[in-house]
Amino acid sequence: MSGSGRRADLHAHTRASDGLWPADELVGRAVAAGLWGLAVTDHDTLAAVPEALAAGRRHGLEVWAGVELGCRAEVEGGRGVDVHVLGLFLDPGRARLDRLEAYLAERRRDRLGRGEEMVRRLRQAGVAVAWEEVLAEAGGGAVGRPHVARVLVRRGAARDLEDAFHRYLSPGRPGYVPQSPLSVAEGARWIREAGGAAVWAHPGLAEIDPERATWWGEIDGVEADHPKHDAQTRLTLREMARARGRVVTGGSDAHGSPGREGVGTCTTPEEGVDELRRRIRARFEGGGGAA
């Protein structure tokens, strides 16, 4: 049976975290891209969700509450790696969402400390960055590495965002500071308690072979289609997901930054959206859902 042809972008950011667009503009761009649905997945905050939901109603676009959690996982030899998990289809009307929002407020406070430590390490390495500039770049949103990267570019310490990350803000580089030690299992638990589905974001960018990951059982889906995954990575991830009974998703990871892909460049078919939502319903109706 053929699909509906309707597609959704299940990974996009606003200026509430490290994106450059307000929620209304992000929704407008999704409409212009011909999308049927959009998940707003800012880092550690749901602040843009009300505005995005209202804009979606005005434009006739399905908009879903989401979040992106930065987790840490221990792999062979005790090495820690960053693993990002998307929380999709969170229920804004569910009382338990209040607990998630309180937890996210704690994480945003941690982000401030992490950002200050990045700046301290960069200055120690001889790179002149002011914490006040980073805060101004964040504009009251959840502070993250992209805000530091933009300051580095503006000061001429890096050519562009990719160069800033490569030279200063990636693991092993002078300004890198690991995220707080939230495990994938803990991140997935927070998401599920808020009525959502947990999806491994851009696994092709993680510093681990996805085949060796031990957290497949904690997630509902895997983001195989991402702008920074090549064709072979996408194919491999699809095969892994299907072999493990996980849903395949796609998202643009749009931030509005120059040189980054736009909204709708990677998408999820309606059938994938429906399958994730079926799993959520099964969990809350006592049917078990995805493991």
Burial 47-75 (b: 16+ CB within 10 A, else e): bbbebbbebbeeeebbbbbbbbbbbbbeb
Backbone angles phi, psi at 65, to 5 degrees: -75, 130
Residues 163 and 49 in one domain: no
Residue 88, both tokens: 């999709």
Q: Across the beta sheet with 247-250, what order do the strands follow? A: 247-250, 221-225, 197-200, 80-90, 62-74, 37-40, 7-12, 268-269
Residues 30 and 121 in one domain: no
For residue 198, the one-letter residue type is: A
Question: Which domain, by its residues, includes 124?
Answer: 113-169
What pLDDT score does 289 carry?
42
Residue 151 lies in a domain: yes
What pLDDT score does 44 carry?
93
Residues 36 and 148 in one domain: no
Residue 73 lies in a domain: yes
Q: Are 88 and 66 in contact (CB under 8 A)?
A: yes
Residue 29 lies in a domain: yes
Residues 35 and 51 in one domain: yes
| Confidence category of residue 2, pLDDT binned at 50, 70, 90 | low
Please state the rounded mean pLDDT for residues 7-32.
96
Residue 180 lies in a domain: no
Residues 11 and 125 in one domain: no
Residues 81 and 126 in one domain: no
pLDDT tens, residue by residue, 42-81:
999 999 999 999 999 999 999 999 999 999 888 776 778 8
Residues 59 and 196 in one domain: yes
Strand pairing category for 80-90 and 197-200: antiparallel
Does the pLDDT of residue 3 top 90, yes or no? no
Burial 200-212 (b: 16+ CB within 10 A, else e): bbbbbebebebee
**DSSP annotation of 261:** P
Residues 40 and 135 in one domain: no
Give every CB contact of residue 100 below 8 A, 6+ residues apart in sequence: 46, 67, 90, 190, 191, 193, 194
pLDDT tens, residue by residue, 255-287:
998 767 799 999 999 999 999 999 999 987 765
pLDDT tens, residue by residue, 162-179:
999 999 999 899 999 987
Residue 196 lies in a domain: yes
Residue 183 lies in a domain: no
pLDDT tens, residue by residue, 85-143:
999 999 877 667 888 999 999 999 998 999 999 999 999 999 989 999 999 998 888 89
Number of other CB atoms surrounding residue 84 within 10 Å: 23
- Cα separations (Å) of 228 from 47, 125, 203, 225, 233? 27, 29, 10, 9, 9
- Gap between the Cα atoms of 146 and 149, Å rounded: 5
Least confident of 13-22, 142-151, 172-181, 234-243: 172-181
Residues 254 and 223 in one domain: yes
Rg of the chain over Cα atoms, rounded to whole angstroms, equals 18
Residues 99 and 226 in one domain: yes
What pLDDT score does 169 carry?
95
Residue 248 lies in a domain: yes
Longest dimension (CA), the chain: 60
Region label for 34, one of left (φ > 0), alpha (ψ between -120 and 50) or beta (otherwise): left
Residues 22 and 137 in one domain: no
What pLDDT score does 180 carry?
74
What pLDDT score does 94 carry?
66
Give me the CATH number covering residue 95: 3.20.20.140
pLDDT tens, residue by residue, 222-267:
999 999 999 999 999 999 999 999 999 999 999 998 767 799 999 9
| Confidence category of residue 1, pLDDT binned at 50, 70, 90 | very low
Residue 235 lies in a domain: yes
Residues 137 and 65 in one domain: no
| Total domains, the chain | 2
Please state the rounded mean pLDDT for residues 80-85.
90
